[in-house]
Structure 1
Amino acid sequence: MNDHQNQLSRRKIIKFMVLGATVPLINSLVGQAQAAKASKEAMQYRDKPNGQEKCSNCMQFVPGETAEASGECKVVEGSISPQGWCIAYAKKS
């Protein structure tokens, strides 16, 4: 191997080391952002729809295993009924 090939190898190793050190940091920050959800009380959550507005047709809703099963919300903490509603409601487009 000549000197030019050795330099490229060292550069690649350094780049991989830097990338490897930043990935866990980014994962940690993403996990903290996802954990910051509002309480049901703060979002005025209820288990009944508001007219045609209900969690099952909200873009924030993450469905459960079946259509009738409780799911999760990207905004509100805890178990969410597909028939529920809160002030974070945003109709799916």
Structure 2
Amino acid sequence: MNYRQKKLSRRELIKYIVLGATIPYVWGDAYKAEAAKASKALMKYQDKPNGSEKCSNCIQFIPGDTSDANGECKVVAGSISPQGWCTAFSPKS
């Protein structure tokens, strides 16, 4: 191989620059979403319901695989029990 065959074309160079510039944004979105959530302590999360208010009846709750499995919350970080409750509770309409 001579020097000309090893040389990058402008098109390849631009492709690598664009790819290298977008990777941090793609990876960073997952970390930003989790960092934007509040802690359980801040939201006064508890694993038991507050009267008839419980996470499984909240619009913020993302259910797990089964109805009894822990899920996630759009507001609170970490694993959330369907029987739990926090100050961000907002009933489903």
- Counterpart residue number, 1:34: 33
Give the CA deviation at 1:67.
0.4
Give the CA deviation at 1:23.
6.8
- Counterpart residue number, 1:56: 56
TM-score by length of 2: 0.67
- Counterpart residue number, 1:82: 82
Give the CA deviation at 1:52.
1.0
Q: 1:22 to 1:88 in 2, by over 3 A?
A: farther
CA distance in 1, matches of 2:41, 2:78: 11
CA distance in 2, matches of 1:75, 1:32: 14
CA distance in 2, matches of 1:51, 1:68: 18
More displaced stretch, 51-60 vs 21-30: 21-30
Gaps of at least 5 residues in structure 2 are 1-18
TM-score by length of 1: 0.67
SS in 1 for 2:47: coil
Gaps of at least 5 residues in structure 1 are 1-19
Give the count of matched residue pairs.
84
